[in-house]
Structure 1
Amino acid sequence: MTDVVDNTPVSKKSWKSYFAFIKDPKFWKVLLLGQLLSLCITGTNVVTTTLSTKYNFAAPTTQTFLVYACLAFVYNCFAIYKRGIKGWLLQFWHRGIYYFILGFIDVEGNYFVVKSYQYTSLLSAMLIDCWSTPVCMFLSFLLLKVRYRWVQYVGVFIALCGLGMLVASDVITDKNYGAVDAVKGDLFCLLGATLYGFSNVGEEYMARKHPLYEVIGMFTFFATLINLVQIFIFEREEWAGFRDTAIAGMVVTYTICMFVLYSLAPVMFRLGSAVLYNLSILTSDFYGLIFGLGLFGYSVTVMYPFAYVVIIVGIAIYHIFPTPQPAVGAFDADTADRERNDLLNRPAEYDIERQPTLDVTNETVLGTGTTASSTEPKHG
């Protein structure tokens, strides 16, 4: 979906026009989608905390391996269905190295953030983890050529202030854990958050140029292999824990939450951006409190609901002016045709509508991201 840029001079704008985005269905789609993704992250945090505190099971690499493996299987099967074996192999030939790098960055980002919780305090990890938001803004400015307006910087700042209120509430209620090695843990978390920023922007870049089933399937394929190597190095003994059906059930729940998260995050990147994605998931700590009240005996202060509202207000302020499209553009029907022709080495003037044997399908979610029809052959 392409943003319509309002070229009306600022001096002639009314206050009503500044808040016209509230009537925009795209704003509500992005807002609701962002909160769904935030709930998915909350689910993974609750499961991981339960596994650690109740079952003494800590195997982050094993958990993410199952997620990557499921995503790779589902989306690569769909890619083969859409493009055939030849088209699927051409994806590896043309862009495999980029997806390998993206998969490696994502795996290590997950690893270092989870690892940091073993050394630093919970509050420090929460604060440092939000570093991925300014990293996304910097990389989007540098690599995607996005030019933000001052009000969008204000929106990001307000949303981060909301996170600060959550942390302050945790300090008041003494909901924290001691740091074993604060410097080491903080550096791990900082590195992981930086890698998250690179991963999110890299995935947004690829999602704006290629079908989502290719992007998700390809980078999770390499992430699965990388994670498998790390399992044999670090977590070979943890596999015995799956004999406990309760542990196995919790890991399945974790996998479902992460599957939804990784499937919908690229859609968020197209409708909004990697920056907006990172802003939206700041509310996950608020949702975590709701679950923690019953499961872990957390206490609540009045700052929590206020912090949630502040974060949502920050997201809304970010939307007052539409963010300019990245230089790579959006993935529309024309981009889909060019991408498909380039992949299959077809000439630029190839008229796909004249091919009588091609099936007409709609790629609204997994393909173009628009309601335009796609005429990609099911078999290469």
Structure 2
Amino acid sequence: MSATNNFDQKMDLQEQQLQSSGALAADSTTPVAEPETQRAWHHRVSGLFTRKFIIILLLGQLLSLCITATTIFTTYLAQGANPVSIPTTQSFLNYFVLAIVYTAITLHKEGFRGWLKIMRRRAHYYILLALVDVEGNYFVVKCYNYTSLLSAMLLDAWTIPCVVLLSVFFLKMRFRHLHYVGVVVSLVGMGFLIWSDMEAGMNSPGSDYVKGDILCIIGATLYAFSNVGQEYLVRQRPVYEVVGQLGFWGAIINGIQLAILERQELQNIHWDGKVVGYIIGFDIAMFLMYSVSPILFRLSSATFFNLSLLTSDFYGLLFGLFLFNATINKIYPIAYTLIIVGIVIYNVYPGPEPNFRPILSKEEEEAMATKHEDETIV
């Protein structure tokens, strides 16, 4: 009996020790886990009130309003008493002004020889960027002749998954799983949008809504290449250089396309104060957007840029109801809600930083050029 009691006492003592050690472990882990969790959430919440976040948020909404303005002016041109469809001409004026303003700034900052060095060393990057951007503008502006205002604006959501994929492959960004979930949800919303246009038929503004949706998707895809390309360059080169070169080569490419595609349209346009005013308003909004967007690319990313622009759908909805007597199809709320939910899911975690191999910096280029000259002299 004594042996049994001794055994039971030992077992009880071991159980008490285990319970006490478990309690200590629980006590030791609990105060460590809670502060870490609290600090993590505090860091996320406090990040929303930093000066940088407020600046990029306001810049994003300014760009969103610019997009809404370009959409409204283009819709007025396409759906007026005398419909006007000159997407290349509209964009040409913007590139031309960008080239004049920012090339002048580049010449002031770098000098004429510095500008020639830029042309010699990096012109191929800017020519490709300008080509993609010019065609993206062409297809997006052209789509307003065939589809509704709301459809064209919501279909721009297609740019976001394209930007994410390009950012992964070219900018070497690593996104979390929730980022991809948010993109998929937005794509489902876009699918509902196309379905709503097909259900609307001729009751929806526009002569060929399916063709308009296809043109908008093509333009949105090209915009994704342009946005990622601008982020790639503006993170390494001065903003005035990137915008000036984009405007310079964009004006040349756009001018050639204008001469080929829109000579007849320009001759047939009934020019009046409204048409001229709409075109000027369009180009003012475009100039402001092209001037501000590189700053946002540098402070944030192309993905955040496009997420910010999706709020233009809300502004466009309000303007469309009051200015164009637009009607909302019963599937529109589902599509819009899904797109917004996708954006919210995406923003649970902040976007990643790019990790690409940069082009030579200005200092490195000068060092390489000096080294090359010394070797040539020797």
Q: TM-score, normalised by structure 2?
A: 0.75
Of the three residues 39, 55, 65, the one matched with 1:29 is: 55
Contact 1:283/1:308 (<8 A) preserved? no
Kindly indicate whether residue 99 of structure 2 is the aligned counterpart of residue 76 of structure 1: no
Structure 1 match to 2:116: 89
Residue correspondence of structure 1 range 322-333 to structure 2 within 5 A: 322-328=350-356
**By how many angstroms is 1:219 displaced?**
1.6
Contact 2:88/2:138 (<8 A) preserved? yes
Kindly indicate whether residue 71 of structure 2 is the aligned counterpart of residue 45 of structure 1: yes
- Partner Cα distance (2:204, 2:69) in 1: 20
* Cα RMSD for the two superposed structures: 3.7
Structure 2 match to 1:262: 290
Q: Secondary structure of the equivalent of 1:210?
A: coil
Contact 1:79/1:213 (<8 A) preserved? yes
- Over alpha carbons, which structure has the higher Rg? 2
- Partner Cα distance (2:195, 2:232) in 1: 35
How many aligned residue pairs are there? 335
Q: Alpha-carbon deviations, 1:203-261, whole Å to 9, x = none? A: 10000110010001102211111111111111113334474122111111111000011
Of the three residues 181, 197, 221, the one matched with 1:194 is: 221
Contact 1:72/1:220 (<8 A) preserved? yes
Distance 1:154 1:310, change over 3 A: same
Instruction: Calculate percent identity across the aligned residue pairs.
Output: 45
Question: Tell me, which stretches of 5 or more residues in structure 1 are unaligned?
Answer: 1-7, 349-380
Structure 2 match to 1:321: 349
- Partner Cα distance (1:83, 1:294) in 2: 48
- Partner Cα distance (1:273, 1:188) in 2: 25
Of the three residues 245, 256, 276, the one matched with 2:273 is: 245
Q: Secondary structure of the equivalent of 2:297?
A: helix
Kindly indicate whether residue 239 of structure 2 is the aligned counterpart of residue 212 of structure 1: yes
Distance 1:10 1:199, change over 3 A: farther
- Partner Cα distance (1:296, 1:119) in 2: 15
Distance 1:165 1:141, change over 3 A: same
**By how many angstroms is 1:290 displaced?**
2.0
Structure 2 match to 1:180: 208
Of the three residues 329, 350, 365, the one matched with 1:342 is: 365
- Partner Cα distance (2:87, 2:185) in 1: 32
Greater mean deviation of Cα atoms: 290-299 or 191-200: 290-299
Q: Secondary structure of the equivalent of 1:209?
A: coil
Distance 1:179 1:47, change over 3 A: closer
Distance 1:245 1:344, change over 3 A: farther
Of the three residues 101, 116, 130, the one matched with 2:157 is: 130
- Partner Cα distance (2:224, 2:342) in 1: 19
Contact 2:296/2:305 (<8 A) preserved? yes
Contact 1:39/1:287 (<8 A) preserved? yes
Distance 1:311 1:197, change over 3 A: same
Q: Alpha-carbon deviations, 1:126-169, whole Å to 9, x = none? A: 55432211111011001110001223334445666777788899
Q: Alpha-carbon deviations, 1:321-346, whole Å to 9, x = none? A: 34332124899xxx9xx425515855
Structure 1 match to 2:138: 111
Contact 1:206/1:215 (<8 A) preserved? yes
Distance 1:303 1:234, change over 3 A: closer
Of the three residues 10, 13, 16, the one matched with 2:37 is: 13
Q: Secondary structure of the equivalent of 1:131?
A: helix
- Partner Cα distance (1:181, 1:40) in 2: 24
Kindly indicate whether residue 321 of structure 2 is the aligned counterpart of residue 298 of structure 1: no
Question: Tell me, which stretches of 5 or more residues in structure 2 are unaligned?
Answer: 1-31, 372-378
**By how many angstroms is 1:190 displaced?**
3.1
Residue type at the aligned position of 1:218: Q
- Partner Cα distance (2:124, 2:341) in 1: 40
**By how many angstroms is 1:110 displaced?**
1.5
Q: TM-score, normalised by structure 1?
A: 0.75
